[in-house]
Chains A and B, each alone.
Chain A
């Protein structure tokens, strides 16, 4: 019985560790150091297209496991509804898909090279050459 309780505790701890690891950092190539949660959602739902300084927002998505966590926490959609949402924009000619990048390193490299670009990575990943934005 004691062994069973220990097993349950270990499994629970592993699950919690796994969830805690999915902490997201939003990175961008902009003069801003913060972004409101409302604007961040607006960017990724195509409602807001420019930074406050007028620079065009250049969206990226991250193909790593952080994608689902970001969509759930910041956009309020799951991966399939987010994909559907953007396909609607694309197939009616009203925009283009966010730049699809494979992982954190690719997101950081792309964002660093493109003014106005924004992306999201695991909070523990390196973010050289980009600004980690504070979410307000």
Chain B
């Protein structure tokens, strides 16, 4: 069932009562949100395959239920759906669902499906109404590949230490299993991204052994100033993909000629991608001063993977199967942004950010990519953004955000496979959100 019908049904069942915070069915609190965007880009498609023509294929819908089952135990669940071009398609997913036991201020435990933490905004990146920017800086908060970065099934411990005059330290440490759905973002991306003109036909296996996360927040004695550190580890990610190509092969194992014609035979290519390392560190700081908010965040990721390619020729030929394993080296990518917003009054917020990200910290200008036949601009991206937010009331808002981008790291040909990527481009987002 599409989630928009669940949300609409809930609202209808409740008679569209005045939006006084949560709806309350007995002891169950119900909250929900809907956001819809209009995206238009110049020069190339971004996030969706048709953004150059203007697209509405960018929305998020969610509804959650929560209740206290005991003085120190709370349970809750959130259903979520989104559409972002080829991703999501408004299929309902279990966003989070857990039981939360608080022993005391210093220790609590959540068990179930967790929201991944990271940086200032990871856990609220789907909640447009909780932030000023329409699109969070992509150097830290990638809009794609939600399945690995957003949730996991497991447990997390948390607590708060108040050092009176010396600040407040909060921690969250969690671990659990994650998955790579065969109809998820990553699988969709792989099946829509041409490699040497060919597409992946089948995702044979896709999995992650486990993920782990440590998040520490220190609220300093300086009013409004806090620092965050987050470390995420993804262990044992495996992608097994295959495709079929056709190769001209002579009928007999002799040089081709008039008496030995070549035919197109199917050749199966299997690619096994296994990560040896996939770690991400995020360092963040935020300063709230009167009506101003200042954000500064930096992230660095380390990755190493082995890729085994197996080529299987026509069955009529023996000895036509070969397998090559290429052991990868550790590479790192990084990025960060500096952003600020100013709330003029209860309705108006103005803001902007400068975000930069690099595919390889040792190749910031993309020269190595160009030397290997690629486009240097896919090695970096500089994004200048300006936003205006207008809160119509506490439950409904609109935003307009413009971006000018130099570079193409993070852009994928899966949205625009027939064209070369442009160096300088821009996009505009108009978004409206509702929550209750």
Contact = CB atoms under 8 A, between A and B. Distances in A.
Interface of A: 38, 42, 47-50, 56, 76, 79-81, 83-84, 87-88, 90-97, 100
B364 interface: no
Interface string B9-24: 0000000000011100
B105 A83 contact: no
A96 B124 contact: no
B104 interface: yes
Contact of B21 (A81, A91, A94, A100): A100
Contacts of A88: 124, 127, 130
B78 A93 contact: yes
Closest 5 CB pairs of A and B: A93-B76, A56-B71, A47-B160, A92-B123, A91-B127
B33 interface: yes
28 contacts: A42-B162, A47-B105, A48-B160, A48-B162, A49-B104, A49-B105, A50-B104, A56-B71, A56-B72, A76-B224, A80-B391, A83-B394, A88-B127, A90-B64, A91-B124, A91-B435, A92-B96, A92-B123, A93-B64, A93-B76, A93-B77, A93-B78, A93-B96, A93-B100, A94-B100, A96-B66, A96-B74, A97-B21
Interface in B365-402: 391, 394
B72 A90 contact: no
A93 B72 CA distance: 14
Given A80-B391, A96-B66, A96-B68, A90 B96 contact: no
Given A48-B105, A49-B105, A92-B123, A38 B29 contact: no
A38 B161 CA distance: 13
B168 interface: yes
B130 A97 contact: no
A87 B223 contact: no
Contact of B164 (A38, A76, A79): A38
Contacts of A48: 105, 160, 162
Contact of A95 (B74, B77, B170): B74
Nearest to A58: B71
Given A84-B130, A92-B124, A76 B21 contact: no
Contacts of B22: 90, 96-97
Nearest to B343: A80
Contacts of A87: 127, 129-130, 435
Nearest to B160: A47
A67 B305 CA distance: 55
A95 B72 CA distance: 11
Interface residues of B, number: 41
Given A48-B105, A91-B33, A91-B130, A100 B20 contact: yes
A100 to B, nearest CB: 6
Majority SS of interface residues in chain A? mixed
Contacts of A38: 162, 164
B29 to A, nearest CB: 5
Interface string B198-230: 000000000000000000000000011000000
A63 to B, nearest CB: 10
Interface in B76-113: 76-78, 96, 98, 100, 102, 104-105
Nearest to A83: B394
A92 B151 CA distance: 11
B249 interface: no
Contacts of A79: 346
B162 A93 contact: no
Nearest to B68: A96
A81 to B, nearest CB: 8
Contacts of A47: 105, 160, 162, 168, 170
Given A91-B64, A96-B74, A97-B21, 20 more contacts: A42-B168, A47-B105, A47-B160, A47-B162, A49-B102, A49-B105, A50-B104, A50-B105, A80-B394, A81-B343, A84-B130, A87-B127, A88-B124, A88-B130, A90-B22, A92-B124, A93-B64, A93-B66, A96-B22, A100-B20
A38 B105 CA distance: 14
B31 interface: yes
A96 B160 contact: no
B115 interface: yes
A50 B62 CA distance: 31
A84 B129 CA distance: 8
A90 B29 CA distance: 9
Contacts of A100: 20-21
Contacts of B71: 56
